[in-house]
Structure 1
Amino acid sequence: MKEYINIKKILELADSKKWSIPVLADELNIDYSYLSRVINKEKPGGAKLILGVLNLCFKEGLDHKEYIFLNIPLSTDNGDVLQNETSSTVNPINLSA
């Protein structure tokens, strides 16, 4: 499972702010149970979490590149490729442009 979120860094931030995990979830504007599953590596974290981390970084004046792995391309594997189709790759998101 690919990880798009630097959970270790997010937990360090929560610790430095003296936030519990439920408070961190509130700060990220996500459900505690969802954050818990990401922390326990049961889920990779998706758009909700990425947006929450991005917004928190802006709010706290943090460098989002330390918290979100944007250089990992998202999968485009949709199963078997038909003979007439060609595969393509997705370029990573670049927020610094």
Structure 2
Amino acid sequence: MDINTGNLRDLARVIVEHLHANGFPAEGGANRQVLALAEECGEFVGAYRRWSGQARRSGTAEEMRAELADVIITAFATAEELGIDLEQAIDEKANIVLTRGWREASPR
């Protein structure tokens, strides 16, 4: 399957369609995806800890990168299940973030 990952909203639609077609019912899909998103965030944190030397075993940058991608993909699939236009929400939130004050450099 050749998916254009440049359009995460379309990718999310395809993923959700595949979930529904393969035994994951639409009813309860939002709950499933919210839990999956939390799980993916935890997996990213674990991969980061391993990569940065803060865990008992080591990990690679590639593992961390893949887990972060899972977070973003799962966030878009979660938004799809919840009926949220995540691209619009990101744009709106970015405008708020960019108008906030920034920490001033400490005088030295």
More helix by share: 2
Structure with larger Rg: 2
The alignment's TM-score, normalised by the length of structure 1, stands at: 0.32
The alignment's TM-score, normalised by the length of structure 2, stands at: 0.29
